[in-house]
Chain A
Amino acid sequence: MTDPLLSLALILAKLIAVFGVILTLAAYLVLAERKLLARMQLRYGPNRVGPFGMMQPLADVIKLLTKEDFVPATADKWLFLIAPGLSAVTALLTFAVVPFGPPLEIFGKTLPLVVIDLNVGVLYFLGLSSLAVYGMALGGWASNSKYSLLGSIRGLSQLISYELSMGLAIVPVVMMARSFSLTEIVMAQEKIPYLLLNPLAFPIFLISVLAESKRIPFDLPEAENELVGGFHTEYSGMRFGLFFVGEYINLIILGSMVTVFFLGGWHGPWLPGVVWFALKVLAICAFFIWVRGSMPRLRYDQLMHFGWKVLLPLSLLNVLVTGAVLLGMS
């Protein structure tokens, strides 16, 4: 009787820990982004609240919470209220399958450092990332404003287009690891990360992930200078905050997915696994911020052409070649 209770408690503990870490990390990622961007643009960035501006996220949260939560008169009220939650929840749920460290040995028992090790983890990730579209789409539609609608239509078509090449870029990884479980994919990269074994899949996945995160150069759904704020134009207060936090959680998730699929997850010399994992994720996030600081926005037709005519054929070709090589080796 104690065993299921204990494992339940362990899962809950992991859940809370992961939750706390992710939310804090997301908040500080915002700060990091602002600081890094400022440095790239020869500014200081936020440095008033606390030492080095370290309390800035807290100040932001207080500001967002105390702002008026405004619902436009013509909006579809229920959808308008639900949409930001959807976008944050789908992002958070994905982290359930991410293995962030090697299994721990405590009291003679192994404790896997992942909330649940699903044997279809890859599909779970793809499924949730395709559900993540809904938050943005419904938010834009429910606002009943033309900029928002335009933003979410753009977002929908962009996400649908890039999800394909993202999914297809993982297929070679699954073929090489022979498993849909993220833990086993990481285990399979103990010696060589798939970044080196499959150098084509990595850039495809990275670019698609960048498009999934709706960030520059793929930030057409938001495009401030054309659409005001895109799908979240009409949002204010903590509902806007949810969209905002959802975006950064998504960034962490996608970073950790890149780490799991291509950078060998927690594997690395000298340091403990969890640290390696965190370092890799943060490096990917820093890369995303760097890209934002240095790239212009794509035009809509360029975005579509690139997705359908370059990335998709390349990823299909990659699947084909990987399959042939694997078959030849076996």
Chain B
Amino acid sequence: MQAILFYLTAVVAILSAFFVMKCRNPINSALNLVTTFLCLAVFYVMLESPFMAAVQIMVYAGAIMVLIIFVIMLLNLGLTVKTRYTHGLAAGGILSVMVLFVANYFTRAGEATGTGGSVTSELIASYGHTELIGRAMFVDFLLPFEIASILLLVAIVGAVVLSKRKV
């Protein structure tokens, strides 16, 4: 049951990822990207991470992609001209297939800790998934979490400085 669901979602994810590149209409590309993100959210649910799934939908599908679509609409982009860089595409394709094989090799060879990590299903069941994430954020990675706020501030200031006509 889980396996069937996984493969179904994976097929949808890969197909829509493919159409992100293939579509000539930017809106369609963006929508396919949304589908990919939704599939990722399904994967998170299957990995017993409902919090991540919800955040994935909220942040990526609900906020970032909406902004991208907003920009596409504002610019009213038409169909993109077919590019001539076909060999670039081919190279990218070959590269990603190679990465796929390498990733496959890593997982088969058992070099990744994978399910042997410290966060197990039992821990999630007893402690709660959201609580674990909260713990990681506010105990183990408190400083990086706070640095991220400075990072966002810098990014906002930078965007304003670079784009606003009259500062």
Residues of A within 8 A of B (CB): 76, 79, 118-120, 123-124, 126-131, 133-134, 137-138, 141, 149, 152-153, 156-157, 159-160, 163, 180
Known: A120-B130, A137-B70. 9 other contacts (CB 8 A): A79-B27, A127-B57, A128-B57, A129-B62, A130-B57, A130-B61, A131-B57, A152-B73, A163-B63
With both chains docked as a complex, state the minimum distance between the C-beta of B71 and any C-beta of chain A, in angstroms: 10
Query: Are B54 and A156 in contact, with the CB atoms below 8 A?
Result: no
Query: Are A160 and B70 in contact, with the CB atoms below 8 A?
Result: yes
Q: Which residues of B contact A118 (CB under 8 A)?
A: 50
Secondary structure type dominating chain A contacts: helix
Whether A141 contacts B27 in the complex (CB less than 8 A), given A119-B50, A120-B130, A180-B130, comes out as: yes
Q: Which residues of A contact B6 (CB under 8 A)?
A: none
Query: Are A156 and B58 in contact, with the CB atoms below 8 A?
Result: no
Q: Which residues of B contact A141 (CB under 8 A)?
A: 27, 69, 73
Q: Which residues of B contact A119 (CB under 8 A)?
A: 50, 128-130
Q: Which residues of A contact B3 (CB under 8 A)?
A: none
Q: Which residues of A contact B51 (CB under 8 A)?
A: 120, 123, 180
B155 close to A (CB within 8 Å): no
Query: Are A131 and B27 in contact, with the CB atoms below 8 A?
Result: no
Query: Are B50 and A133 in contact, with the CB atoms below 8 A?
Result: no
A94 to B78, CA, bound (A): 34
With both chains docked as a complex, state the minimum distance between the C-beta of B56 and any C-beta of chain A, in angstroms: 8
With both chains docked as a complex, state the minimum distance between the C-beta of A97 and any C-beta of chain B, in angstroms: 11
A134 to B51, CA, bound (A): 22
With both chains docked as a complex, state the minimum distance between the C-beta of B124 and any C-beta of chain A, in angstroms: 11
Q: Which residues of A contact B128 (CB under 8 A)?
A: 119
Query: Are B73 and A149 in contact, with the CB atoms below 8 A?
Result: yes
Residues of B within 8 A of A (CB): 25, 27-28, 31, 34, 50-51, 53-55, 57-58, 61-63, 66-67, 69-70, 73-74, 76, 128-130
Q: Which residues of B contact A159 (CB under 8 A)?
A: 66
Question: A82's closest neighbor in chain B, by CB?
Answer: B31
Q: Which 7 A-B pairs have the closest CB atoms?
A: A130-B62, A123-B54, A127-B57, A127-B58, A156-B70, A120-B50, A120-B54
Query: Are A153 and B74 in contact, with the CB atoms below 8 A?
Result: yes
Secondary structure type dominating chain B contacts: helix
Q: Which residues of A contact B34 (CB under 8 A)?
A: 134
Whether A160 contacts B66 in the complex (CB less than 8 A), given A118-B50, A153-B74, A180-B130, comes out as: yes
Whether A160 contacts B63 in the complex (CB less than 8 A), given A119-B130, A134-B34, comes out as: yes
With both chains docked as a complex, state the minimum distance between the C-beta of B27 and any C-beta of chain A, in angstroms: 6
With both chains docked as a complex, state the minimum distance between the C-beta of B75 and any C-beta of chain A, in angstroms: 11
Q: Which residues of A contact B53 (CB under 8 A)?
A: 120
**Cβ contacts A to B, 25 pairs, < 8 Å:** A76-B25, A119-B129, A120-B130, A123-B51, A123-B55, A123-B58, A126-B58, A127-B57, A127-B61, A127-B62, A128-B57, A130-B58, A130-B61, A131-B57, A134-B34, A137-B69, A137-B73, A138-B27, A141-B27, A149-B76, A152-B73, A153-B74, A160-B67, A160-B70, A163-B62
Whether A127 contacts B66 in the complex (CB less than 8 A), given A119-B130, A149-B76, A152-B73, comes out as: no
Query: Are A157 and B57 in contact, with the CB atoms below 8 A?
Result: no
Question: B67's closest neighbor in chain A, by CB?
Answer: A160
Query: Are B73 and A127 in contact, with the CB atoms below 8 A?
Result: no
Question: A128's closest neighbor in chain B, by CB?
Answer: B57
Q: Which residues of A contact B66 (CB under 8 A)?
A: 130, 133-134, 137, 156, 159-160
Question: B25's closest neighbor in chain A, by CB?
Answer: A76
Q: Which residues of B contact A127 (CB under 8 A)?
A: 54, 57-58, 61-62
A130 to B65, CA, bound (A): 10
With both chains docked as a complex, state the minimum distance between the C-beta of B58 and any C-beta of chain A, in angstroms: 4
Q: Which residues of A contact B63 (CB under 8 A)?
A: 130, 160, 163
A80 to B66, CA, bound (A): 18
Partner of B69, one of A120, A128, A156: A156
A164 to B19, CA, bound (A): 31
Question: B76's closest neighbor in chain A, by CB?
Answer: A149
Q: Which residues of A contact B28 (CB under 8 A)?
A: 79
With both chains docked as a complex, state the minimum distance between the C-beta of A148 and any C-beta of chain B, in angstroms: 11
A157 to B54, CA, bound (A): 22
Q: Which residues of A contact B58 (CB under 8 A)?
A: 123, 126-127, 130
Query: Are B55 and A153 in contact, with the CB atoms below 8 A?
Result: no
